């Protein structure tokens, strides 16, 4: 390489270097003595908000006396809510009649005399003509199908029915197994045996029995023992063997007449004052939902098992355990079908919608069950 070329390359390198130096950012001036360098900005950590310290207290009166397992499990729901919330939400449990008349809790919730109840919805036929569809409906939902229908359809229907009242039904129900058709002083062998029978029943079942000739009255469960003793009534329906044994009905009813026609299930529903429910923080609402769902499921499993034990106790006590004859069962179902066909024609649009939903679900549920049933062996 010639000397001239070498000089030219050195010159070009120098020019480029000076240009680069001109583009460099100015160096920060040295920090004054005693001045700390600026701290780097740190991202602020977001801490989840602590639950509100506000506490709430609800008065819950169910419709049942102290011996009834329905009251015992209503109390368990209340205890579960109080414990799960760490006392922030206290549910105080009361037996039926403690604050307001038993079975009249819904009006008391609306007026805020109480804040909630655990009850049979059919006790409110005086307010809502649809109420009988939700409890012990003759020819209705089985105990297996009821929890599913209520979870996905029924609770919404109840809350639509109750619009205008300051009440709300909470998801999660105890369907309870089929009720004993009648606890009676005498057997029912024919349809004629129903005629003139002084019988306590409730809901749509009362209308069916009236059409079959019974003399029907309604009274709370706590009055049944004395009414049978005094001869005010000859027979009554109330619940399944587990509940009936706990209430000492073996002492007053010689016949335990079984059939799932009148009440294939008897769902219990938990209600709260709607305004108070909506005032609760979301975490406390979640606790109530979890408590109702879990305790009602526990109740159903307990009562299914205890029914087996209680039935043996009734038999050992000397009660006559009989089944309603098929021709009487047919008369009950036929009468129920006529009753509901008439109500669908003359009732509210909501009544018809609820009934159609139940009938469709019963049909689909029965078909699904038949698919899963093992074929009989040859």
User: 169: domain CATH number?
Assistant: 3.40.190.170
What SS3 string covers 275-299?
HHHHHCCHHHHHHHHHHHHHHHHHH
Find out whether 160 and 229 touch, Cβ atoms under 8 Å.
no
CA distances in angstroms from 329 to 237, 263, 333, 336, 371, listed in the order given: 15, 12, 6, 11, 26
State the Cα–Cα distance between residues 224 and 185, nearest whole angstrom. 13
Q: Classify residue 119: in a domain, yes or no.
A: yes
Helices and strands of the chain, counted as H and E runs: 12, 11
Tell me: pLDDT of 51 over 80.
no
CA distances in angstroms from 99 to 103, 113, 223, 276, listed in the order given: 11, 8, 17, 19
Find out whether 132 and 218 touch, Cβ atoms under 8 Å.
no
Tell me: pLDDT of 43 over 80.
no
DSSP 203: H
Q: Classify residue 117: in a domain, yes or no.
A: yes
Q: Classify residue 24: in a domain, yes or no.
A: no
Find out whether 143 and 362 touch, Cβ atoms under 8 Å.
no
* Euclidean distance between the first and the last CA atom of the chain, given in angstroms as a whole number: 109
State the Cα–Cα distance between residues 342 and 70, nearest whole angstrom. 33
Give the pLDDT of residue 375.
79
Each residue's pLDDT tens digit, 287-322:
999 999 999 999 999 999 999 999 999 999 999 999
DSSP 318: T
Average pLDDT, the chain: 89
Tell me: pLDDT of 33 over 70.
no
Tell me: pLDDT of 10 over 50.
no
Q: Classify residue 170: in a domain, yes or no.
A: yes
Q: Classify residue 151: in a domain, yes or no.
A: yes
State the Cα–Cα distance between residues 225 and 183, nearest whole angstrom. 11
Look up the domain containing 82 and give its range: 56-175+265-318+344-368
pLDDT confidence tier of residue 156, bands split at 50, 70 and 90: very high
Domain count, the chain: 1
Give the pLDDT of residue 373.
85
DSSP 151: I
Facing residues of 320 across strands? 255
Q: Classify residue 64: in a domain, yes or no.
A: yes
Tell me: pLDDT of 251 over 80.
yes
Name the nearest CA neighbour of 353 among 109, 88, 68, 158.
158
350-356, Cβ contacts within 8 angstroms, sequence gap of 24 or more: 350/130, 350/157, 350/160, 350/161, 351/129, 351/130, 351/133, 353/157, 354/130, 354/133, 354/157, 354/161, 355/133
Q: Classify residue 78: in a domain, yes or no.
A: yes
Q: Classify residue 92: in a domain, yes or no.
A: yes
Give the pLDDT of residue 34.
45
């Amino acid at each position: 390489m010639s000397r001239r070329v070498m000089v030219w390359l050195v010159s070009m390198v120098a020019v480029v270097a000076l240009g680069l130096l001109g583009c460099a950012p100015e160096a920060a001036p040295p920090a004054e003595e005693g001045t700390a360098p600026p701290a780097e900005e740190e991202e602020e950590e977001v801490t989840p908000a602590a639950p509100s310290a506000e506490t709430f207290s609800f008065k819950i009166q169910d419709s049942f006396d102290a011996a009834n397992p329905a009251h015992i499990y209503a109390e368990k729901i209340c205890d579960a809510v109080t414990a799960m919330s760490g006392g922030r939400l206290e549910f105080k449990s009361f037996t039926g009649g403690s604050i307001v008349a038993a079975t009249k809790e819904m009006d008391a919730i609306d007026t805020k005399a109480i804040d909630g109840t655990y009850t049979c919805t059919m006790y409110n036929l005086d307010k809502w003509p649809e109420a009988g569809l939700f409890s012990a409906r003759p020819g209705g939902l089985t105990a297996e199908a009821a929890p599913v229908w209520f979870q996905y359809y029924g609770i919404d229907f109840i809350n639509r029915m109750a619009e205008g009242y300051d009440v709300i039904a909470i998801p999660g129900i105890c369907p309870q197994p089929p009720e004993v058709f009648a606890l009676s002083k005498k057997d029912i062998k024919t349809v004629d045996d129903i005629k003139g029978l002084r019988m306590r029943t409730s809901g749509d079942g009362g209308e069916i029995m009236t059409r079959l000739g019974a003399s029907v009255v309604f009274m709370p469960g706590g009055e049944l023992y004395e009414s049978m003793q005094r001869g005010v009534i000859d027979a009554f329906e109330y619940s399944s063997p587990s509940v009936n044994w706990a209430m000492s009905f073996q002492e007053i009813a010689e016949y335990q007449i079984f059939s799932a026609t009148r009440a294939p299930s008897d769902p219990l529903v938990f209600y709260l004052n709607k305004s108070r429910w909506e005032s609760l923080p979301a975490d406390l609402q979640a606790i109530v939902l979890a408590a109702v769902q879990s305790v009602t499921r526990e109740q159903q499993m307990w009562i299914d098992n205890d029914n087996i034990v209680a039935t043996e106790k009734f038999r050992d006590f000397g009660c006559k355990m009989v089944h309603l004859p098929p021709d009487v069962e047919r008369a009950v179902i036929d009468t129920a079908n006529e009753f509901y066909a008439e109500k669908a024609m003359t009732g509210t649009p909501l009544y018809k919608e609820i009934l159609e939903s139940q009938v469709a679900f019963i049909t689909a549920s029965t078909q699904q069950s038949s698919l899963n049933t093992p074929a009989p062996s040859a």
